[in-house]
Amino acid sequence: MKVVLFGGTGMVGQGVLRECLRDSAVEEVLSVVRTACGQQHPKLKETVVKDLFEFPNVAGGLSGYDTCIYCLGVTSAGMSEQHYTRITYDLTLCIAQFLLKQNPGMTLIYLSGQGTDSTERGRSMWARVKGKTENALLALPFRAAYMFRPGFIQPLHGIKSRTRVYRLLYAGASPLYPVLKFLFPDSVTTTERLGCAMLKAAKHGAPRRILENRDINALL
């Protein structure tokens, strides 16, 4: 199994990368990032691309990769819908369509979020755009495509968000994780569980194409 990972320096991406490197079924991981992670591992290859819209022009041959795990994303806070759409929808589709041409039999795992709006007509801007992105990805002829919609994610194993506001949020909420898990079991998971669930879906499939938080936890 050969994996192309986007967003491997983000909080979820770090968790996914960790599980890829630990999984004996994963032969190789190509991590596509905007800044180098500095990590060394025999399985790990890293491609640094400052402008990811240029990725199709600099990627070279990518044949033989059977899985793409796409964890790249930004917060919508302070963004216009046009700017958020360009990063969340336009960039994602640009990369997905390129990878599909390179590897028609590829499986796509896309990190979305709890509350995503599949109708694309709701009042929440980020949820509409995420819904539009999911719908477009599911319409592409990948061998399989799964949309992951986690809720609250507890970072484990020293993993931290690169966004300061999120770091503070998770640092404050971390001691409450057992309580949140007890009160809202369908809305919380961890970076480890999420990474393992993504790999399991890539290897063995999943019961549905859109996986809510409870579905993610149930995969393991």
Average pLDDT over the chain, rounded to an integer:
92
Please count the structural domains in the chain: 1
- Confidence at residue 211, expressed as pLDDT on a 0 to 100 scale: 98
113-128 in b/e form (b: 16+ CB < 10 A) is bbebbbeeeeeeebbb
- Confidence at residue 181, expressed as pLDDT on a 0 to 100 scale: 76
Tokens of 160: 């931290």
- State the residue range of the domain holding 180: 2-218
pTM of the full structure: 0.93
pLDDT digits (tens, 9 = 90+) for 144-155: 999 999 999 999
Q: CA-to-CA distance for 60 and 40, rounded, in angstroms? A: 22
CATH number (domain holding residue 160)? 3.40.50.720
- Confidence at residue 163, expressed as pLDDT on a 0 to 100 scale: 64
- Confidence at residue 119, expressed as pLDDT on a 0 to 100 scale: 98
- Confidence at residue 70, expressed as pLDDT on a 0 to 100 scale: 98
54-79 in b/e form (b: 16+ CB < 10 A) is ebbeebeebeebbbbbbbbbeebeeb
Q: CA-to-CA distance for 56 and 133, rounded, in angstroms? A: 19
Q: Which positions of the chain have pLDDT values less than 70? A: 161-173, 176-177
